[in-house]
Amino acid sequence: MSRAPRLEARIGYRFKSSALLEQALTHRSFGSPHNERLEFLGDGVLDCVVAEELYARFPDLPEGALSRLRANLVRQAALAGVARAIGLSGFMKLGEGELASGGAERPSILADGLEAVYGAVFLDGGYDAVRMAIHRTFGDALQRLDAQAPAKDAKTRLQELLQGRRKRLPEYRVVATKGAAHKQTFEVECVVAELELRATGSGSSRREAEQRAAEALLRQLEA
């Protein structure tokens, strides 16, 4: 892999096993061995490194706030942004069909590829090595975190938390409408089927009811 040293320089780590890096950069559309198992490992390692950093930097924050910050950092869009910053798409190996459909710039493929690289670094060099690689590739994003920034609304926080855990997005549905047309009360159910969780909320508008349902489900997740 003649281009490997360029990527290694960008992540701040030199591989002992070039085969591990090659596997991390191989999408399943190209062939085997592909990077899905390494992506699984890298996802867990990334969560651990980010959690460790947040735990040390914000000693007074409760678990729910720490989870919100981590979800914001490791969501798919954020990881794809990091991958683009290091030019990861230029190193990925994809099948012809995936390349033709623009897969090299697809956020999901970039995010998964980045996590696979982290997984490969962890196997090749251990926890300290991958911790340094994550800090290098994230740049100062970790340092810019502001725990006092205005809180996002409940639906946004729930979406980011689920994305950070690689879960499907929640579904909202109106389960009841009460009162006269000019003074209705809506009851909405928020469902995360993958986790078998559901919660309800009510309000004078559907939007308000959805926010309250999302807040109730967040409390279940963060309990």
Which residues in 51-179 belong to E strands, given as ranges?
171-178
Strand 197-203 relative to strand 185-192: parallel, antiparallel, unpaired?
antiparallel
Q: For this structure, is 115 an active site residue?
A: yes
Phi–psi pair at 130, nearest 5 degrees: -70, -30
Q: For this structure, is 43 an active site residue?
A: yes
Cα–Cα distances (Å) from 103 to 28, 52, 138, 145, in that order, read 12, 32, 23, 30
Phi–psi pair at 127, nearest 5 degrees: -65, -45
Please tell me which residue in 8, 47, 53, 115 is annotated as part of the active site: 115
Q: Which of 167, 185, 152, 9 has the alpha carbon at shortest distance from 72?
A: 152
Please tell me which residue in 8, 39, 43, 98 is annotated as part of the active site: 43
* Burial label, 185 (beta-carbon count in 10 A; 0-12, 13-18, 19+): middle
Dihedral sign, CA of 128, 130, 136, 138?
negative
Active site residues: 43, 115
